[in-house]
Amino acid sequence: VELQSLALDRCYRLLNHGPTILVSTSDGRAPNACPIAWCMPIDFDPARFALVISDAHKTYENLQLVPECVLNLPTVEALREVMICGNESGRGGDKLARAGIAHHPSTLVRPPRLDCCVAWIEARVVALPAAEQDFAVVVEVLVAECRPGAMTPEGFLDVEKVRTLHHLGGNRFALPGATVTGVTPE
Ligand SMILES: Cc1cc2nc3c(=O)[nH]c(=O)nc-3n(C[C@H](O)[C@H](O)[C@H](O)COP(=O)(O)O)c2cc1C
């Protein structure tokens, strides 16, 4: 299927509502991925996101080795993959291969795109603060694409179809319920 490409200054709309993402990385040999709940847009142009990633994770080490990643957007259909990736470390070998999590090459970065997701933001690391500085990893978007139909004609994520995972803590997630449209006051 032909993917829909998103204008970089609009790709914040994939993550503006706070879904948990799967961040895929590479150490130059094997791919890896882990769920990150703590991710937020911080700029439109250049499009940038901040992610809180523990330096204890293989993911952090991978970002030091290959400063690129993909922010993969999973939905409730990928809950199994999210839980596997979030409860094992890539240090124990290729987590994706072990769990049979399918992926395919990205267009501009070395880490792969995960097939179980509905949108993919390929990015490069622009700031990887030392862990003791206790601040987020900042990434800049290179390309953003989604499955056809994931966005409404008005250009918003169609959360009636794309049921993203919103982490409540532990093993619990909320799913998007409804949308409302505000009226701009005169
Ligand atoms: C739903 C969910 C959300 C998570 N969010 C974060 C997060 O925002 N930041 C973080 O550092 N770890 C987070 N984790 C933990 C990592 O995903 C987990 O420790 C993972 O196994 C690390 O894998 P790695 O060592 O292969 O990088 C989360 C885990 C789950 C299950």
Per-residue pLDDT of 146-169, as tens digits, reads 999 999 999 999 999 999 999 999
State which ligand 1 atom lies nearest to the alpha carbon of 167.
Answer: 1
Per-residue pLDDT of 60-115, as tens digits, reads 999 999 999 999 999 999 999 999 999 999 998 999 999 999 999 999 999 999 99
Q: What is the pTM of this model?
A: 0.97
Distance 99 CA to ligand 1 centre (A): 16
Instruction: Answer for the pair 11, 47: CB distance below 8 angstroms, yes or no.
Output: yes
Instruction: Answer for the pair 125, 50: CB distance below 8 angstroms, yes or no.
Output: no
Residue nearest atom 5 in ligand 1 by C-alpha distance: 36
**SS3 label, residue 82:** helix
Per-residue pLDDT of 34-62, as tens digits, reads 999 999 999 999 999 999 999 999 999 99
Is 179 a residue whose pLDDT tops 90? yes
Cα separation of 75 and 175, whole Å?
Answer: 9
Angle at Cα 10 formed by Cα 76 and Cα 122, nearest 5°? 65
Cα separation of 50 and 127, whole Å?
Answer: 9
Percent of residues, the chain, with pLDDT higher than 70 = 100
Is 131 a residue whose pLDDT tops 80? no
Q: Which residues line ligand 1 (CB under 6 A)?
A: 20, 32, 34-38, 52-54, 57-59, 86-91, 95, 167
Distance 157 CA to ligand 1 centre (A): 24
Percent of residues, the chain, with pLDDT higher than 90 = 94
The pLDDT assigned to 132 comes to 72
**SS3 label, residue 61:** helix
State which ligand 1 atom lies nearest to the alpha carbon of 39.
Answer: 8
The pLDDT assigned to 99 comes to 92
The pLDDT assigned to 134 comes to 72
- Choosing from 20, 22, 23, 34 the residue with most ligand 1 atoms within 8 A of its CB, the one to mutate for a pocket test is 34
Band (pLDDT 50/70/90 cuts) for residue 17 is very high
Q: Average pLDDT over the chain, rounded to whole?
A: 96
Burial of 96 by CB count in 10 Å (0-12 exposed, 13-18 middle, 19+ buried)?
Answer: buried
